[in-house]
Amino acid sequence: MGTATTALGTGANAVADNATAVGANALASGQNSAAFGHNAQANGPGSVAVGGAAVDEDGEPLITSGGVPVTTGATSAGVGGTAVGASANADGFAASSFGVGAYAAGTQSSAFGAVANAAGDYATAVGTQTSASGTSSTAVGGPADYIPGLGFFVQTQASGEASTALGAGAIASGSYTTAVGTLSEASGTEATAVGYFAYAPGEGATAVGPESWASGELSTALGYYSTARGANSVALGANSVATRANTVSVGAAGDERQITNVAAGTEGSDAVNLDQLTAVSDGAANTARTFVATGDGTAIAEGADSVAAGSDASALADNSTALGASSIASGRGATALGYESLANGAASTAVGVASVAWGQGSTALGTDSVAYADNSVALGAGAVADRDNTVSVGSVGGERQIANVAAGTEGTDAVNLDQLNAVGETAETTARLFAGTGTGTADAQGEDATAAGSNATADGDYSSAFGSSSQATAIGAVAIGSGASATAQYANAAGYNAAASGYGSIANGAFSQASGDYAVAVGGESEAAGAQSTALGAAAGAYGDGSLAAGTLSVADGSETTAVGYFASASGESATAVGAESVADGTSAAAFGFGA
């Protein structure tokens, strides 16, 4: 027996110095450890285990591991680990697990929810049966019924290094991938998938919209059921298909779209409009396009398998997605991204501040862009698409040029000015998407970088900036939302004025900040300042290295501190406070319960 020990309950055993064991067969074998509950075990120095064995209503074990029933209570084997919940397990160094059967095996990993699993070092898993197995990965969501009626459920999984999966059944399996939306999947290295059933298997690929697919290397698919299979190809609009490398498609064979409001081209690789082509030979219609997007953080998701993120964001229909403050996705399978964006039509997509996708299958990309008509596409700030099956890159009196257009080779391709000048008969041309520079335009300077939004900047190689004045300035950085900034390598910032400045850090929510390396801040005005720190909840603050603050206004101020609950505060090194308004002030201090 150690000195200053406490053991209460039949078979309770407190072995190490300053250990506490409460409950039948509870065991506290680590120095300064605490075990509470039947068969609870706190084996690591400074560890905490709270909870008995998980059983069903008949008293039989509820949890199995490798087919073997789990009969132990909460178990905390790692140094400074915290396990709270029936059969919860915190094996990793400074790991935290909360919920029945929750398992945190990685160093400084965190698991929240029933049978949540955080196996990777610095991984975070939030939600029932979520899995974060990649180093520095994040999984937030729960199981989704893959085939309704058959009971085949898919769990939210983040298995790639520094990967992020958000939404029921979302999967981020590639390194540095991001999957947002129910059953979305990003499996290619540095791929991004956003929307219900969105799929991005290509390296560096981006798929945005319900059931969108981007399988080509560095390909981009935007819109419901859009498909980009060619390398470096772009598919824009619902049901658009891009199969050839280095091409932009705004439709599909048999479902072509017009491109409207195209200014006259002035340089060799510019697109030309119908007036120019008619003046030289037979006529060819041509287009240009650009778009602006934005976003923010708190939410309501009423539809089945819907996702809402942002202050007053609303996902009202089944399989809808709303990201950004006051964004609304009211159509079935609709996607709205950006402040006050509205996707009203079924399978419509609206991206950008105050963008509106009203028609069925319509797509609006850019601040104040409007797609009124069915299957129409409006590209660029202020663009208006009011005819069915058309693509507009401007409005009457506000036309745009399309620059850097490759020569068309097939009948439905756009034409450029070189082709127009070279022939006196029918020209076949192709329009291409470009990253603009200058005041009010997106600026993508890094290799394979993507910038979308007024004054958006993507300076780092492989970086992405989506939103007005968003900035992604380092390698692999991602910034989503108005004023969002990701300034460190592989940092991710999502939300109005969200800031991720630590290496591999994640900031999700309006005014959220993640400044420590591998820090995670989720919630409006949340802040994770310490290295490997985690802040979850509105105004939550994790300031010490390896600290965890979970709950609105919770604060973890020392290194490796843990504060869980509304207004919970843990201010000493390795201190632990669990419960609303609980306070643990001092080195290795512990407080459990409301107001403790």
What is the per-residue pLDDT for 288? 29
Please say which residue of 365, 392, 419 terminates a domain: 392
- Same domain? For 240 and 330 the reply is no
Structure tokens at 302: 């009423």
Torsion of CA 396, 401, 402, 408, to 10 degrees: 90
The two beta strands, 321-323 and 335-337, are parallel
Any bridge partners for residue 220, and if so which?
206, 234
Any domain includes 511:
yes
418 three-class SS: helix
- Which domain CATH number covers 463? 2.150.10.10
Any domain includes 416:
no
Asked if residue 87 lies in contact with residue 54, where contact means CB atoms within 8 angstroms, the answer is yes
Give percent of the chain above pLDDT 70: 93
pLDDT in tens, 313-356: 999 999 999 888 899 999 999 999 889 999 999 999 998 899 99
Any domain includes 51:
no
What is the per-residue pLDDT for 437? 44
Please say which residue of 226, 249, 272 terminates a domain: 249
Q: Which domain holds residue 319?
A: 299-392
- Same domain? For 458 and 579 the reply is yes
Q: Is the pTM of the predicted complex or chain greater than 0.85?
A: no
Any domain includes 326:
yes
What is the per-residue pLDDT for 529? 95
Residues 6+ apart with CB under 8 A from 466: 293, 294, 295, 337, 351, 450, 451, 452, 453, 456, 479, 480, 481
CA 226 vs CA 124, 177, 196, 348: distances in Å: 31, 20, 12, 12
- Same domain? For 479 and 560 the reply is yes
Residues 6+ apart with CB under 8 A from 149: none
- Same domain? For 451 and 564 the reply is yes
104 three-class SS: strand
Place of tokens 């900036």: 465
Q: What is the CA radius of gyration of the chain?
A: 26
Any domain includes 8:
no
**Domain count along the chain:** 3
- Same domain? For 204 and 314 the reply is no
- Same domain? For 568 and 450 the reply is yes
- Same domain? For 449 and 568 the reply is yes
Q: What is the pLDDT along the chain (596 residues), one digit of tens a residue?
A: 678 899 999 999 999 999 999 999 999 999 999 999 999 999 999 999 999 888 888 888 888 877 888 888 889 999 999 999 999 999 999 999 999 999 999 999 999 999 999 999 999 999 999 999 999 999 999 999 877 666 678 999 999 999 999 999 999 999 999 999 999 999 999 999 999 999 999 999 999 999 999 999 999 999 999 999 999 999 999 999 999 999 999 999 998 898 989 898 888 777 888 887 877 764 333 332 222 333 444 689 898 988 888 888 999 999 999 888 899 999 999 999 889 999 999 999 998 899 999 999 999 988 999 999 999 999 889 999 999 999 999 999 988 877 777 887 887 777 888 888 887 554 332 222 334 444 578 899 999 999 998 999 999 999 999 999 999 999 999 999 999 999 999 999 999 999 999 999 999 999 999 999 999 999 899 999 999 999 998 999 999 999 999 889 999 999 999 989 899 999 989 999 888 899 999 999 988 888 87
Please say which residue of 359, 392, 425 terminates a domain: 392
Question: How far apart, in whole angstroms, are the C-alpha atoms of residue 102 and residue 111?
Answer: 6
What is the per-residue pLDDT for 102? 95
Residues 6+ apart with CB under 8 A from 286: 259, 262, 265, 271, 272, 273, 274, 277, 402, 405, 414, 415, 429, 431
- Same domain? For 234 and 311 the reply is no
Any domain includes 205:
yes
Any domain includes 94:
no
What is the per-residue pLDDT for 439? 57
Place of tokens 């697109």: 271
- Same domain? For 200 and 313 the reply is no
Identify which of 194, 131, 231, 154 has the alpha carbon closest to the alpha carbon of residue 324. 194
- Same domain? For 448 and 388 the reply is no
- Same domain? For 459 and 558 the reply is yes
- Same domain? For 476 and 580 the reply is yes
Residues 6+ apart with CB under 8 A from 58: none
pLDDT in tens, 268-283: 777 888 887 877 764 3
Any domain includes 429:
no
Structure tokens at 126: 């939030």
